[in-house]
Amino acid sequence: MWIALSELFLDTTLDAHDIERIAHALARSPYTLDELDRVLLWEVHPACRANVVSIAGEWSGFDPDRLESKIRRPLSGASMGWTGAVGRLGLWSSIAWRRIKHAVASARA
């Protein structure tokens, strides 16, 4: 689930196929849409947000073990940074996330 959500923070554009693939992975999870929102905003976003502002070039994916390690590490006020405290995604990620959530709901229906 974390890896699927981390794709919102890659330097690549998510096309319709990506949206469906991510949605199907999330639809198989036991989490409600509200719980997935919380996981994305408070677990995945703090661990992956630096990639969005990085100028290092295209990043094709997060290492699952490193991602899990970062997510499981307790957050301190200092490590949350300027966006972690607010818990918001960027505009583009928010749009993609709304599309993914709709697809998750459709897949579960």
Per-residue pLDDT tens over the stretch 51-99: 666 555 545 567 777 777 777 765 544 444 444 433 455 655 688 899 9
Mean pLDDT of 34-38: 93
User: What integer pLDDT is reported at residue 83 of this predicted model?
Assistant: 43
pTM of the model: 0.71
Give the amino acid at 94: S
Give the tens place of pLDDT for each residue, 9-26: 887 788 999 999 999 999
Indicate the domain borders of the chain: 2-108
**29 vs 43, residue with greater confidence:** 29
Q: Check residue 41 and report its DSSP letter.
A: I
End-to-end CA distance of the chain: 19
Measured distance CA(3)–CA(103) in Å, rounded: 17
